[in-house]
Amino acid sequence: MESFEFNKTIVKERVSTKANEGNKFLILNFNVINNGTEADELMKQRDGASLKAVYNDKYDYEVSVTLMDGDLHHENVRPLSTVKGFVAIEMPDKVVEASENISIFMEKEEDKVQINIR
């Protein structure tokens, strides 16, 4: 993960999507490298990476799929290639404005990563 931000709207080129009323997106910007020997879709339904945000160690927020270019749900990464993109997670404003911790959990097969962003 390269960076993150909270925003009401995701804008990519001339396309945008808005979070529901009372919510914001947690936008996670990634630089993904495929070190495997075959092309792979990062977040495919079966055998793909799972990602979620956990607020205050107990509230889970799943990824929001967009139809925008750069959404890593749509990216197929060739071997030894790098792709830049984003993943969005919609969260209530109350969570965004609070001071309690938010952690990102990524898991693919036996590999697990936790990133504390607050």
Q: Average pLDDT of the chain? A: 90
pTM of the shown model: 0.87
Give yes or no for a contact between 18 and 71, defined as CB atoms under 8 angstroms apart: no
Q: What is the mean pLDDT of residues 32-55?
A: 80
Instruction: Spell out the domains of the chain, with CATH numbers in brackets.
Output: 3-116 (2.60.40.1240)
| Look-up of token digits 């898991």 | 107
User: Cα–Cα distance between 73 and 8 in angstroms, integer?
Assistant: 20
* Pick from 28-32, 42-46, 93-97, 98-102: least confident: 42-46
User: Cα–Cα distance between 80 and 58 in angstroms, integer?
Assistant: 37
